[in-house]
């Protein structure tokens, strides 16, 4: 594996770093943030800044208006964008839009791409992905999908409730997962202003970095034309893996930037803050935490780059992306938690960016599959592979 970046990607990485430092971090403390993420006005400003800098939607294909980055290149650029909690919104690489763009590129028809995807890549509209449901429905176990789709002539009629739908408020279109009459699952595309779609409420959540927050959506007798089925009927779960395998990894990339930001603040503070006659960093208890941070950051980066490289070689990498999701979410969380401890009182107040990062990051160990579910899935695959090897030998 050669992780050496080309001169072009290195330049893009450094340009992203300068953009975040000079244009995004200075406006983090402005008051045009809602309790549910950046306001539409702030998002429009952020996207406009990235567009002017030539950094908007770099992961999308050149055909659709992006830069067509490889997965390894995304690892470099997304980490830099993630150094600010506003950076991914500015570059149009935040969840759920980043995952929706990838899925639409892979599955949507030409007409669907022209109707929704091209405008999304241009930063002109947002999406949401409606799969997760309240108790009794789909969550960690997607097979419990309760939302139903019934064929009625040239339309499908959808009924159900979704929740924790990131970006629902203000989204222009939605990818809806529903169960068919035969028990299979299908994805549907719909404009959010279609009759029968209601944003019931926005959920109060720890994080405030996602545009539109996390919403509860009702679908009541929503009629969607058959032409707006995404992909093929009955292949919804397969398409969900196309989306989620990469989305898990890009989460790891972005949050690595936030963890590195927290670590940088902790190092700076520990180097100048005096206690018991010397800087905090010279006390072993603090120094060891900084060393552990460095190891966790590097471990995360290696998992990200290894999996990204494998994806670029054409491997599916469902196993590797699950492993990276667990390793990175937990390692990066440990980094931020230690940073709060090092900063002490400053770390639990808005005097430092670390408190905000701490609150935003906690959910990373839950969404796109809790660590426990990934461990269970990984263990099953490990045992299955071992049994196949034993059987082959026998």
> Residues 337-393: pLDDT tens digits?
999 999 999 999 999 999 999 999 999 999 999 999 999 999 999 999 999 988 876
What are the pLDDT digits (tens) for 285-305?
999 999 999 999 999 999 999
Determine the average pLDDT of the residues in 57-69. 97
Q: What is the 3-state secondary structure (H, E, C) of 210-257?
A: CCCCEEEEEEEEEEEEHHHEECCCCCHHHHHHHHHHHHHHHHHHHHHH
Inter-CA distances, 248 with 92, 111, 113, 304, 320, Å: 17, 28, 23, 10, 10
Q: Which residue has the higher pLDDT, 225 or 316?
A: 225
For residue 359, the model assigns a pLDDT of 96
CA torsion 285→288→293→295, rounded to 10°?
A: -160
pLDDT at 217: 98
Comparing 26-40, 50-64, 304-318, the range with the smallest average pLDDT is 26-40
Report whether pLDDT(394) > 60. no
**Cβ distance 240 to 88 under 8 Å?**
no
For the segment 185-198, the average pLDDT, to the nearest whole number, is: 98
pLDDT reported for residue 36: 85
Q: Which fold has domain 7-94?
A: Butyryl-Coa Dehydrogenase, subunit A; domain 1 (1.10.540)
Mean pLDDT of 23-46: 88
Tokens of 137: 């429905």
Are the beta carbons of 56 and 101 closer than 8 angstroms? no
Mean of the per-residue pLDDT values of the chain: 95
Is pLDDT of 173 > 60? yes
Which top CATH class is 127-234? mainly beta
Share of the chain above pLDDT 70, in %: 98
Domain ranges in the chain? 7-94, 127-234, 237-386
- pLDDT band at residue 29 using 50, 70 and 90 as cut-offs: confident
CATH hierarchy code of domain 237-386: 1.20.140.10
Span 65-94, mean pLDDT?
A: 97
Q: How confident is the model at residue 85 (pLDDT cuts 50, 70, 90)?
A: very high
The reported pLDDT for the residue numbered 32 is: 66
Predicted local distance difference test score (pLDDT) of residue 31? 67
Distance CA 132, CA 217 (A): 10
The span from the CA of 324 to the CA of 318, in Å, is: 10
């Amino acid at each position: 594996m050669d992780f050496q970046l080309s001169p072009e990607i290195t330049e893009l990485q450094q340009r992203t770093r300068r953009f975040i430092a000079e244009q995004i971090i200075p406006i983090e403390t402005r008051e045009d943030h809602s309790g549910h993420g950046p306001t539409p006005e702030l998002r429009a400003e952020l996207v406009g800044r990235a567009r002017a800098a030539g950094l908007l939607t770099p992961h999308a294909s050149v055909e659709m208006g992006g830069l067509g980055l490889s997965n390894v290149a995304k690892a470099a650029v997304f980490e830099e964008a993630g150094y600010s909690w506003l950076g991914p919104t500015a570059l149009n690489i935040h969840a759920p839009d980043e995952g929706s763009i990838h899925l639409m590129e892979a599955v949507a028809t030409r007409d669907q791409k022209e109707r929704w995807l091209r405008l999304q890549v241009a930063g002109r509209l947002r999406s949401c992905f409606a799969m997760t449901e309240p108790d009794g429905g789909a969550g960690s176990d997607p097979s419990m999908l309760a939302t139903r789709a019934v064929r009625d002539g040239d339309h499908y009629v959808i009924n159900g409730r979704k929740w924790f739908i990131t970006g629902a408020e203000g989204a222009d279109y939605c990818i809806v997962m529903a169960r068919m009459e035969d028990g299979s699952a299908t994805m549907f595309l719909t404009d959010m202003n279609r009759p029968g779609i209601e944003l019931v409420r926005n959920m109060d959540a720890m994080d405030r970095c996602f545009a539109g927050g996390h919403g509860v959506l009702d679908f009541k007798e929503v009629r969607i034309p058959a032409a707006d089925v995404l992909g093929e009927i009955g292949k919804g779960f397969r398409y969900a893996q196309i989306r989620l395998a990469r989305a898990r990894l890009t989460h790891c990339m972005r949050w690595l930037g936030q963890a590195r930001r927290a670590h940088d603040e902790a190092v700076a503070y520990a180097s100048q803050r005096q206690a018991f006659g010397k800087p905090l960093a010279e006390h072993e208890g603090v120094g060891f935490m900084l060393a552990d941070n460095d190891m966790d950051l590097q471990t995360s980066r290696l998992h990200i780059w290894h999996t990204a490289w494998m994806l670029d070689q054409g491997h599916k990498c469902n196993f590797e992306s699950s492993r990276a999701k667990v390793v990175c979410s937990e390692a990066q969380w440990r980094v931020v938690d230690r940073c709060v401890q090092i900063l002490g009182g400053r770390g639990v107040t808005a005097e430092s960016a670390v408190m905000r990062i701490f609150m935003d990051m906690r959910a990373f160990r839950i969404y796109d599959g809790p660590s426990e579910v990934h461990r269970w899935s990984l263990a099953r695959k490990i045992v299955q592979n071992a049994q196949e090897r034993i059987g082959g030998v026998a």
